[in-house]
A and B are shown apart, each in its own frame.
Chain A
Amino acid sequence: MSAPSDAELRRLLLAALGQVAPEADLAALRPGAVLRDELEIDSIDVLNLAIALHDATGLDIPERDYAELATLERGVAYLRRRLGG
């Protein structure tokens, strides 16, 4: 399987975020915005996000890596590294 493009990874991350924060306006999200502040997500949401990404990709994101999901930009870069881009 070829490595997914950044655009695909971004879509994937946004879809997972959409499950966690269904009422958030994700289209307006800036790539560098801190998700915790921007979407008012808490630790349960972060765990749900990690689980949604696990369901979508099979990736098991350890707790120490949660900080890598702080922004869209960093999240895409992290997924690229983990998914072998």
Chain B
Amino acid sequence: MPSLGADMEAGTVLEWHVAPGDTVSRGQVVMLVDTDKAEIETEIWENGVVDEILVPVGRRVPVGTPLLRLRAAGAAATAPAPAAAPPPRPAAPPPAPPPPRAAPPAAPVAAAGAAPPASPHARRLARERGIDLAAVPGSGPHGAVRGSDLERAAGAPPPATAAPAAPAERASPLGAERLATMRSAIANAMARSKREIPHFYLEHDLDVSAAAAWLAAANAARPVTERLLLGVLLLKATALALQRNPELNGHYVDGAFRAGAGIHVGVAIAVRGGGLLAPALLDADRKPLPQLMTELRDLVARARRARLRGAESNAATITVTSLGELGVDKVFGVIQPPQVALVGFGALRERPWAERGLLGVRPVVTATLAADHRVSDGLRGARLLTAIAEALARPEAL
């Protein structure tokens, strides 16, 4: 089970997209994993042939648990287990089949009208399959209904190894349980950040008149599907500024800074109802604006469904947060560990602007930086913010 976020401790495989005998290649999505924050389409980072699935759908396992066994393509199926031996598998026999649904539940019954305790996965399965949760005996703690209970109750074979028909993307509304677990994951990460990271903060007003004028002209000539937003120019300018200031791009792990292998910009995306995700736009400094815009729109749409891919959920080497939409001028952010910096953008506003002895009115955005003082200091931070301003002054080069 890979770590799909700094504070992820365990995960549940919701779907296997591969079965024994399938050939897989590096980067292929092989499973859907439920973390506490989102459902992640998770990739495999080796080539080979699936020998055995070690963890069935629905079982929650700690980060680090082997999930499947691979053999090299072409090797005999009976090849001995590779160096990484599979973990001892729990020998617990499957629980006895539950009584038929019609039978009154013998399990403790919650107060009339109240929903029975159930895992988020179970609630979603119940919604999808039209099963009444109250009629399903739960095998979890305090009689909580788990996904596996529903699989049995529905009499459906668990969609384990047989490659399931590609499921239509579930537009799973984010239930209260999902938001509660997401909130607690955010709480852990933010508390850890403020406990461990000595933050320092800088702010800088950016004159965005050149960028805004370039954007208006560019958009007038583009069909709706190719239109850009100022936000994507800000992201690209930040990514380019990081090329020259690598001390702010990377992770602080085991007492040392490790520069990021690429510039993967995490984008803070609000999830309605009070959640927050920050999936990454990979290699944002190297992508042209239209591609970044398309990827950003796709990322936002999928984050709203809490449905992301592994590479984007844990790859961010810095985070950008934009609160300008809500009309606030500045955001002093909390760094997302193990990252070492966070750049914030406030609202685009017309403000008085003095330059060369003249007072004028310009569109202005205030950029802020929260950075980890263990890794960088004010000089480096100041260079980053001024580099962002310079990049925005030449929008045609973005």
Contacts and interface: CB of A to CB of B under 8 A. Distances in A.
A23 B174 contact: yes
Given A23-B174, A54-B225, A60-B224, A43 B231 contact: yes
A47 B227 contact: yes
A23 B304 contact: yes
Given A44-B300, A45-B300, A63-B219, A21 B225 contact: no
Nearest to B271: A23
A23 B223 contact: no
A51 B294 CA distance: 11
A71 interface: no
Contacts of A18: 171
Interface string A13-52: 0000011111110000000000000011011110110110
B81 interface: no
Contacts, number: 54
Contact of A20 (B174, B273, B301): B301
Contacts of B219: 63
A12 interface: no
Contacts of B305: 22-23
B227 A63 contact: yes
Contacts of B301: 19-20, 48
Contact of B229 (A21, A23, A47, A51): A47
B224 A51 contact: yes
B325 A60 contact: no
A70 interface: no
B296 A23 contact: no
Interface in B244-273: 270, 272-273
Nearest to B301: A48
B290 interface: no
Given A21-B272, A23-B304, A44 B173 contact: no
A54 B224 contact: yes
Contacts of A51: 224-225, 297
Contacts of B296: 44
Nearest to A48: B297
Contact of B173 (A23, A45, A48): A23
Given A54-B225, A60-B224, A47 B304 contact: no
A77 interface: no
A61 B227 CA distance: 11
Interface string B277-315: 000000000000000000011001100110000000000
21 contacts: A21-B272, A22-B171, A23-B171, A23-B172, A23-B272, A23-B305, A24-B272, A39-B272, A40-B270, A40-B272, A42-B270, A42-B325, A44-B296, A44-B297, A47-B297, A48-B301, A50-B227, A51-B224, A51-B297, A60-B223, A63-B219
Given A22-B304, A42-B325, 20 more contacts: A20-B304, A21-B272, A21-B304, A22-B171, A23-B171, A23-B273, A23-B304, A23-B305, A24-B272, A39-B272, A43-B229, A43-B325, A44-B231, A44-B297, A44-B300, A47-B227, A47-B297, A48-B300, A54-B224, A60-B224
